[in-house]
Chains A and B, each alone.
Chain A
Amino acid sequence: MATPTLPERSQLAYIASQAADSRLNVEIETEGMTLNIGPQHPATHGTLRIVAKLDGEQVIAAEPIMGYMHRGYEKLSEVRTYPQVTALVNRIDWMGSFANEVPFILAAEKLMEVEAPPRAQWIRTILFELSRIANVVLFLGDMAVQVGAITPVFYAFRDREYVLNQIEAVTGGRFHPNFDRIGGLKDDLPAGWIADTKAVLTKVDAFCDQLDTLLLGNEIFQARCRGVGVIPADVALSYGLSGANLRASGVDHDLRRDDPSGLVHDQIDWKVWTHPDGDSFARYWVRLQEVREAIKMVGQLLDGIPSGPIMAKVPRIIKVPAGEAYVATENPLGQMGYYVLSDGDLNPFRVKIRTPSFNNISICPWLLRGVYVPDIVTILGSLYFILGDIDR
């Protein structure tokens, strides 16, 4: 091997120092213990690795190391056609997967200067909010497991099944709908779907009320979460947090209201929830209210679907004209954006995916100083990231 060049040498030195830092060490170190949390661990939603320097039970420094689940979406998109990219992109945030397709399709529609008919836009918004409900309901149960209560997560999974069944009845897939198309949607709603979905919404609402009593009112849960992991509003903005994490720190920012591009949130009546505290309890509370708000939104949307075609006139083989477009939407995890650069071909030239969880966990080194080891898990749980979203 030739002598490494200067940048390679510094790279190698960095890697070596990281490896030395994170080697499992059994001798008694009085300066502190380096603990590897992950990549296989029940508390990190996937293969996230956190290298924590501990002093007894207190964390001195913590650093997240990501990339264990990198699947190369952006490189793959360069050699796939637009419908194929839509099918792949479902798998970035696999809990609320319809929401992943929406900004990509909106960006492509912007480049093609095509607008989906109103019926398609309404049903798109309904599925968008349903995927938010499915995603955040899981969070509500999952954070309970991080904190130690093992029962709510089963209720969460049970009530999420109903929502997934409804998504399956329309799209054919529970986790990966692959339903959005440039110019509209793939197919229309089957008969009886609206009534079934309304029944499902009442069940999820009952689950939210159950959680109020079982978890939010529980003094132990409050003692674990209040005051833990406080993020002030200016720090949240400077680290690029988005979604419920930002709103729980008191910042009133929601892309559904401020920039509804292509979805019909401006035609229904709903409210943005914020909380001034910025601690883990606030993040949990804001997400619970958002689920309740989403249930109300879907109820309104179901009543007002306009009749009409489901697909605009687009050619069979999609060739997007040259240009660039960036569209961001308020996904369940935060703000997700796609930057699509096209050169007039069947495949996009470059797709850059701005995922919310990547920025959400960048705050970890700042946030995890001085907390106890159990608090690491509470904080990570309350920030709510999905590994596919971080690593793409």
Chain B
Amino acid sequence: MAERITYYALVDSRSTRERPRTVLRRLETDEGNTDEMFSRDLTWESSPLLHGAEHGDTMFDFAEITEDEANEIVARIRAEAAQAE
């Protein structure tokens, strides 16, 4: 069980802070941290992208967001996927 969850909007050159590409979340427990991205399969899966940014990778911008904001983005991505089917 995560003790703390922090959400981040992933922004690339084709998305914006207001309409990010997707969401990542960092789950912090006594045992350590796990990063997950809301993926194209509409599931949360392990991702190294946030670590990349922390180690100097400038490929994406990450903006910390609230859980409500994260939920809105996930809902939007689900809706777009449903529409595309």
A and B are partners in one complex rather than unrelated chains: no
